[in-house]
Amino acid sequence: MVVGVAVSSGDDTDFTRNTAFVKGGDETLDLLKSIHGQLERLVDTHRAPEASTSGASPDVEEIVDLMSETCPHDDPPSWSSFDQAEAGSECVRDYLVGFPLELAREVVLAHGKFGFFHRWNFDLGPLSPGDRAYIFAELHHVTTEEACEPILYGYNPPPRMAIAVDTTDGVVLPTRNDFFSSSDRTGYMQLIEHWYLISDDPLMVTAENMHWPTQVEYLAFCMWWPGEE
């Protein structure tokens, strides 16, 4: 059975985590309460004003452990099919929804199986929630400078993938959101050749969609970076 865990902090931000359980009802309920409490405590600690002055920080390793429990296919070198690759990156990316950007970065890098980059910052663009959503041709307005520099794909054995996150107000958004909903791509491979896992894509269309430099070239995401005038 699939259970959604919603964690709400004092600023009314929801944190939804999907976890598969095969345990009995009471045991599952206890586990859900435990995860809810841990995530709320850890994320609130990161947000607390005193954290920046006292040196306090969340126990990132605890969040990493919870993420690994939630995402069984979170180890790229173990992937034996495209379905596993897609499920692994999507689960990790979805887990980060609602996290402050730098906490999300810390969690992924501490996890050690993926790279990470900030793809689109919707605070940079001209549209606001309630306006029409961006189309691909307009995403250069919100593509971050980080996304137009060499991407960190991690240091684990290949294949290597970087999780891509998008934000507003410094918080990680769902992949499909009010600003952009035309793609659910959650991660990109370091080398297009790593998509040997795709056995039914003779034209390499799926592989190209999961290779960030190819997307940047085709869709001109970085037309203003670097040296914008």
**For 105-148, what is each residue's pLDDT tens digit?**
999 999 999 999 999 999 999 887 677 899 999 999 999 999 99
Q: What angle do CA 143, 117, 128 make, to 5 degrees?
A: 35
Same domain, 29 and 82: no
Same domain, 131 and 211: yes
212 three-class SS: helix
Do 157 and 213 have their domain in common? yes
Query: Which is more confidently placed, 193 or 95?
Result: 95
85 and 198 part of one domain:
yes
**Could you tell me if residue 20 is inside a domain?**
yes
The first and second tokens of residue 97, run together, are: 């929804």
Residue whose entry in the numeric block shows the structure tokens 């950007």: 101
In the chain, how many domains are there? 2
Q: Is residue 173 part of a domain?
A: yes
> Where would I find the H helices in 55-197?
60-70, 82-95, 101-111
Q: Which of 58, 88, 103 is the last residue of a domain?
A: 58
Specify whether 102 is located in the same domain as 210: yes
- For residue 83, the tally of other CB atoms under 10 A from its CB is 11
Exposure string for 44-66, b = 16+ CB within 10 A, e = fewer: eebbeeeeeeeeeebebeebbeb
135 domain-assigned: yes
Window from 42-46, 57-61, 78-82, 217-221 with minimum mean pLDDT: 42-46
DSSP assignment of 62-82: HHHHHHHHH-TT--GGG--SH
Task: Give the chain's mean pLDDT.
Answer: 76
71 inside domain: no
Residues 7 and 37 in one domain: yes
Residues 146 and 190 in one domain: yes
| One domain for residues 131 and 177 | yes
In a domain, 90, yes or no: yes
Report the pLDDT value the prediction gives residue 86, as an integer from 0 to 100.
Answer: 83
189 belongs to a structural domain: yes
SS3 7: strand
Q: 66 in a domain, yes or no?
A: no
pLDDT (mean) for 169-190: 92
Confidence of residue 56 (pLDDT cuts 50, 70, 90): very low
pTM of the full structure: 0.71
**DSSP 8-state symbol, 169:** T
Peptide bond into 159 cis (omega under 30): yes
Rounded Cα distance between 100 and 82, Å, is: 29
* Separation between Cα atoms, residue 59 and residue 72, nearest integer Å: 21
Q: Residues 48, 91: one domain?
A: no
- What is the C-alpha separation between 196 and 210, in angstroms, rounded? 12
CB 139 within 8 A of CB 216: no
Shared domain for 20 and 84, answered yes or no, is: no
Higher pLDDT, 204 or 109: 109
Q: Where are the beta strands (DSSP E) in the chain?
A: 2-8, 14-20, 115-121, 161-168, 171-172, 187-189
**What band does 40 get if pLDDT is binned at 50, 70 and 90?**
low
Q: Is residue 228 part of a domain?
A: no
Domain of 13, in residue numbers:
1-58
41 plus 114 within the same structural domain: no
Considering the domain architecture, whether residues 114 and 29 belong to the same structural domain is answered as: no
d(CA 68, CA 179): 29
